[in-house]
Amino acid sequence: MKRALSFLGLLNRGGKLRFGMGVEKSLPKAKAAILADDASANSKKAFLSSLPESCSLLQGVNKADLGQALGYDEISLVLVMDGKAAKSLREKWEKGD
């Protein structure tokens, strides 16, 4: 998991991620999404109902760890906008590196 979270930092510097305010507008174009396990029930419900079928969902991380990987206190949702980056992140995530 540590490698996958470090990889998120690289993707962020490369402009491949969306998170924070207004992330809903980017949802239709997202290739992968990371939803924190401890996100609020309302956030999860709203997000999961509008998640496109082509977007893979990655879970198993809390808001603090996700935020720390990107230089913030806490983040509930991160979208990966690039297909190749999403594939690579999924592979790292599934390995549990």
User: What's residue 14's pLDDT?
Assistant: 95
- The domain in which residue 11 lies consists of 2-95
- Whether 89 contacts 8, CB under 8 Å: yes
- 21-32 per-position pLDDT tens digit: 788 889 999 999
Q: How many distinct structural domains can be found in the chain?
A: 1
Phi-psi region of 96 (alpha: psi -120 to 50; beta: other; left: phi over 0): left
64-89 mean pLDDT: 95
- 75-87 per-position pLDDT tens digit: 999 999 999 999 9
pTM of the model: 0.91
58-70 mean pLDDT: 94
- Residue 95 CA to residue 67 CA, distance in Å, equals 21
Between residues 96 and 50, the one the model is more confident about: 50
